[in-house]
Amino acid sequence: MHTGMRQGPEIWIRGPVTTPGAGSPEPAHAHAAARRFSWVGTHGGAGVSTLAAVYGGHDSGRAWPRPGEPASVLLVARTHAAGLDTAAGAVEAFRRGQAPAGLDLDAVVLVADAPGRLPRPLAQRIKSLESVIDVYRVPWVPAWRLGELGRPPRETEPLLRLTGAVR
């Protein structure tokens, strides 16, 4: 039966998107409004303050966002075993409804705890986490240790798109 509507794939867009003005040569995604997030550390030293400074958003430290703060949550953890344990526990708390009402868990952001490749057991734990939630990885950035925040690393392009940060 023909209904007069075009058939094609459905595309879901997360977050608000504005359309370009008439005659604008830029694509619609170039004008996507930056979404507001609360960065929430799952353990001390996760990198919440640095990520909020580099990518924008609200630095919640290790606390859940309060009323009036962005309800979209990005959980932050380091890629060491203890960090991955706390990230998995926080995701489970959301799954069980133990997080405050009204919060939306958007993703987990894993910050490298050291330069180089992860040991296989840690990489496998990250794969397990990725099977239940979107996971964004941030590499080791030596300049960040010195307080030189500058531009986000190019490897974090997907996180830049999610947060609406400008590179």
**CATH assignment at residue 118:** 3.40.50
**Structural domain includes residue 13:** no
Query: Cβ(40)–Cβ(76) under 8 Å?
Result: yes
The two tokens of residue 97 are 């409804």
Task: Express each pLDDT in 108-140 by its tens digit.
Answer: 999 999 999 999 999 999 999 999 999 999 999
**Structural domain includes residue 93:** yes
pLDDT band at 61 (very low <50, low <70, confident <90, very high): very high
pLDDT band at 35 (very low <50, low <70, confident <90, very high): low
Q: Which residue has the tokens 């344990």?
A: 85
**Structural domain includes residue 127:** yes
**Structural domain includes residue 45:** yes
**Structural domain includes residue 12:** no
pLDDT band at 97 (very low <50, low <70, confident <90, very high): very high
> What is the tally of structural domains in the chain?
1
Rounded to whole angstroms, the Cα distance separating 65 from 62 reads 9
- How high is the pLDDT of residue 161? 93
Query: Cβ(72)–Cβ(36) under 8 Å?
Result: yes
Residue 121: CB partners within 8 Å, gap ≥ 6? 81
Query: Cβ(162)–Cβ(136) under 8 Å?
Result: yes
Full domain range(s) for residue 123: 35-163
